[in-house]
Structure 1
Amino acid sequence: MAEIQLKNVSKRWGSFVGVDNFDMTIADREFLVLLGPSGCGKTTTMRMIAGLEEATDGDIVIGGRVVNDLDPKDRDIAMVFQSYGLYPNMNVYENIRFPLKVRKVDPATHDERVMRAADMVELREFLHRKPAELSGGQRQRVALARAIVREPNVFLMDEPLSNLDAKLRVSTRAQIKNLQHELKVTTIYVTHDQIEAMTLADRVVVMKRGVIQQVGTPTEIYDRPANTFVAGFIGSPAMNLMEGTLSGGTFSGDHVSISGLSGPDGPVTLGFRAEDAAVAETGPQAEITAPVYTMELLGDATMITVKAGGALVSVKASKDYRIEIDEPVGLNIPAEICHLFNQKTGARIDV
């Protein structure tokens, strides 16, 4: 069993706080993604779990054992980094086998374990090659196989796909998801890419400046963001956010008026997803009327963006919809798909 508990874990360097009071339990066999922009503390959190950074405060518990004072090699974890870290003078077989030699695992078991790991990442035909003869995607798969062969209790993955091109990222992402399902190993995955987080995770931890903003399933975080930071970070495109005033159930702002909302009167930030709104005829029936700022053809849809006051607002239209830049367009924003946030704190307003 490899349940991981982080009990009020913090990391400080002098007056700088890298991670502030990180407190949560990661279930056995769970795939948890730490998500946030650069400098938010996600990699520092992972490095503390690995033992590569010492926690300033708090306890790290793996499988019921406090590991704060244990060396990385004694924590029964395997790490996959953004840089592949392969030995250039060894072929793929020896790179995968290397952790077994270092840990003095019975040599009689090496071949079977290397072959099993190589098969899981579809590398058997490349075992004789040196890293220099492999593509970026193949090298990343060698790094994955080298972690798998250890048969650890915990996988830690630090932005393992960021060096790959877009097509390889999609295929390798699917491979990682399938591997975790097969191996049933607790996995913590660090990324700044919200699409990776949404597609891979059982749960996502969104971080900002060392502080947890929200923890939940990808669906929970997408459908009910806890604040404007999460709303503006999750989604492609991110949630539209507009500042205005709520009075008697009607939101009013630059170029926008939406009725039928519930919430306290006063200044608020209104949010809605591009796919939940619709292009409409201009006129009084449209909640937003503004000139087109840009039109993007996505293949399965057309993204229309308008500039309403100081905000850029995007809406998905049908794939054959066409309109010229600067032409006025109306947007329908049903009240039931809107989110309201406190304009001062950014926190979600639930009514």
Structure 2
Amino acid sequence: MAEIHLKNVSRRWHNFTAVDDLTLQIPDREFLVLLGPSGCGKSTTMRMIAGLEDVSSGEIWMGGKLMNHLEPKDRDVSMVFQSYGLYPNMTVYENIRFPLKIRGIPASEHKQRVMKAAEMVELTPFLDRRPAALSGGQRQRVALARAIVREPNCFLMDEPLSNLDAKLRVSTRAQIANLHHALKTTTIYVTHDQVEAMTLADRVVVMKGGIAQQVGKPMEIYDRPANTFVASFIGSPAMNLIDGDIADGTFSNPYLTVSGLPHAARGPVTLGFRAEDVSVVSEGGNLSAPVYSVENLGDSTMFAIKGAHDDLISLKADKTARMAIGETVHAHVPAAACHVFDRESGLRIDGFDNQAVA
């Protein structure tokens, strides 16, 4: 069992708090993604679980055992780093085998376990090569195999795809998802890439400033962001966020009016909606503004307009849509697709429940 429980965990250096009072229950076999911008505390959280950083306060439990004062080698976790961390003078076979040697696993088991791990990440033809003769994707697969061969209770992956190009990220991401399905081992994965989080995770922890902003399944967070930070961080493009006023179920600002909203919200608010929920129309609609930019994406066309505070608002249209910069675009933003947030705190307003996510 590799159920992990973080109880009020914090990490502080003098006056700086990297992780602040984080409580998190990670069930056995779950794939949990820690997501957020640089400096949000996600890697520090992982390093505390691994034992590479001390816990300033709180407790870390794994499999019913308190981990706080155990050395990293005694925690039965395997880490995969962004930098691969391979030994350049060793072959792929020896790199994968190395954790077995240092942990005193009987030599009679080495070959079988190395070959099994190598086969899982499709490295069997490359076992005699050294890291310098491998591509970036192949090196990352060696790092994965080296973690797999130990058969740990938990995998910890710290931005393992950051050094790969776009095509390799897609293929390696699929491989990691398939490995988790096959191995069924608890996995904690750190990334700043929301696409990785959405495609890999059973649950996502969105972090900012050392604090967990929201914890939930990927589509729960996408459909019902807890605050404007989560709304702006999840999704590509990010959710459009527009300041205005709401009264009697109608939101208004200089270029957008949305009626039929619930009456729970009143006064100055931030309205959120996603680009794919907007319908670009030839005339009318409840949003009108000059086109600021046009992006032809193949399967669709993305228009951007500038808001009152020079913020860009994205509108997704059919791939056949044609419009020049400077022309006025008309669109319909349905009330059912809107989210309402308190403008001062950024929190989702209680009692507001749009039909799109009900």
Q: TM-score range by the shorter chain?
A: over 0.9
Are residue 295 (structure 1) and residue 294 (structure 2) matched? yes
Q: Which amino acid aligns with 1:314?
A: S
SS in 1 for 2:168: helix
TM-score, normalisation: structure 1: 0.99
Q: Which amino acid aligns with 2:107?
A: P
Hey, what's the Cα distance between the residues in 2 that align with 1:242 and 1:331?
A: 15
Name the SS for the 1:320 alignment partner.
Answer: coil
**1:254 and 1:308 in contact (8 A); partners too:** no
> 2:153 corresponds to which letter in structure 1?
N
**1:109-148 aligned within 5 A:** 109-148=109-148
Partner amino acid, structure 2, of 1:309: A
Give SS of 2:348's match: coil
Equivalent in the alignment of 1:271: 272
The equivalences for 1:176-255 within 5 A come to 176-255=176-255
CA distance in 2, matches of 1:287, 1:197: 33
**How far 1:309 moved relative to its partner?**
1.8
Give the Cα separation in 1 of the matches to 2:88 and 2:334: 58
Letter in 1 for 2:295: E
Q: In the alignment, residue 296 of structure 2 is paired with which amino acid? A: L
By how many angstroms is 1:264 displaced? 2.4
* 1:69-88 pair list within 5 angstroms: 69-88=69-88
Contact 1:256–1:308 under 8 Å retained in 2: no
Following the alignment from structure 1 to structure 2, what is the Cα–Cα distance between the partners of residues 307 and 344?
A: 22
**C-alpha deviation, 1:57, in angstroms:** 0.3
* Unaligned runs of at least 5 residues, structure 2: 352-358
Q: Following TM superposition, by how much is the alpha carbon of 1:281 offset from its aligned partner in structure 2, in angstroms?
A: 2.5
State the Cα distance separating 1:64 from its structure 2 match: 0.4
Deviates more, 1:320-329 or 1:30-39: 320-329
Q: State the distance in 2 between where 1:21 and 1:266 align.
A: 33
Q: Separation in 2 of the partners of 1:95 and 1:299?
A: 43
Which whole-Å deviations, capped at 9, do the CAs of 1:261-285 have from their partners, x for residues lacking one?
1132200000001001110133xx3
Q: Which AA in structure 2 matches 1:300?
A: D
Shift of 1:254: 2.4
Provide, for residues 187-245 of structure 1, a one-character-per-residue CA deviation record: whole Å limited to 9, x for no partner.
Answer: 00000000000000000000000000000000000000000000000000000000000
Runs (4+) of structure 1 exceeding 4 A deviation are none
Verify the 8 A CA contact 2:19 2:211 in the aligned structure 1. Answer: yes
List aligned pairs for 1:13-52, cutoff 5 A.
Answer: 13-52=13-52
Deviation track 1:118-161 (CA, whole Å, cap 9, x = no partner) reads 00000000000000000000000000000000000000000000
Aligned amino acid, residue 273 of structure 1: R
Paired with 1:137 and 1:312, the residues of 2 have a C-alpha distance of: 35
SS of the residue corresponding to residue 23 of structure 2 reads strand
- How far is 1:322 from its partner? 1.1
Distance 2:198 2:23 in 1: 22
How far apart are 1:331 and its partner, in Å?
A: 1.1
| Partner in structure 2 of residue 165 of structure 1 | 165
Q: Secondary structure of 2:350's match?
A: coil
Matched, 1:339 2:310: no
CA distance in 1, matches of 2:307, 2:138: 46
Do 2:36 and 2:208's aligned partners in 1 also have CA atoms closer than 8 Å?
A: yes
Q: Is the 8 A contact 2:50 2:75 kept in 1?
A: yes
Amino acid at match of 1:294: S
CA distance in 2, matches of 1:264, 1:115: 60
Shift of 1:321: 1.0
| Kept after mapping to 1: 8 A contact 2:265/2:340 | no
> Residues 51-70 of structure 1: matches in 2 within 5 Å?
51-70=51-70
Q: Partners of 1:48 and 1:324 in 2: how far apart?
A: 52
Q: Percent identity among equivalent residues?
A: 67
Tell me how far apart the structure 2 counterparts of residues 96 and 265 of structure 1 sit (CA, whole Å).
Answer: 60
**Structure 1 contact 2–28 (Cα < 8 Å) conserved:** yes
